[in-house]
């Protein structure tokens, strides 16, 4: 995906951002550790189903999600699809 395509798709997602056009990143906040881990488990289930696995950095009350297609060493459509599914977990 070129830079213009990434920027266009990011506008539709909202609060995700890119790091050097190589990965999508978003921080999710939670009121406690239990809710944090529940979110991680839901993301893991979606990732397994999609066969596309994000980087998950877990902290008390916070998860930083990183999406990148490692084979391409770049952001691809797979990353945007998974980002949208992860965002849907917040609703």
The arithmetic mean of pLDDT across residues 72-85, rounded, is 94
> According to the model, what pLDDT value does residue 90 have?
80
Segments forming the whole domain that contains residue 39: 3-88
Name the 3-class secondary structure at 73: coil
Name the 3-class secondary structure at 65: strand
Burial class (CB in 10 A: 0-12, 13-18, 19+), 87: middle
Specify whether the CB–CB gap between 59 and 36 falls below 8 A: yes
- CATH code, 51: 3.30.1360.20
For residue range 28-72, list pLDDT tens digits in order. Answer: 999 999 999 999 999 999 999 999 999 999 999 999 999 999 888
> According to the model, what pLDDT value does residue 1 have?
86
Looking at the structure of the chain, the number of domains it has is 1
The Cα 62–Cα 39 span in angstroms is 10
pTM: 0.93
């Amino acid at each position: 995906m070129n830079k213009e395509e990434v920027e266009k798709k990011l506008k539709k997602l909202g609060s995700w951002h890119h790091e050097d056009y190589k990965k999508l990143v978003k921080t999710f906040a939670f009121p406690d550790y239990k809710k944090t881990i529940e979110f991680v488990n839901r993301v893991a289930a979606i990732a397994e189903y999609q066969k596309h696995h994000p980087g998950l950095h877990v902290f008390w009350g916070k998860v930083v999600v990183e999406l990148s297609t490692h084979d391409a060493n770049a952001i691809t459509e797979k990353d945007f699809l998974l980002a949208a599914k992860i965002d849907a977990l917040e609703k």
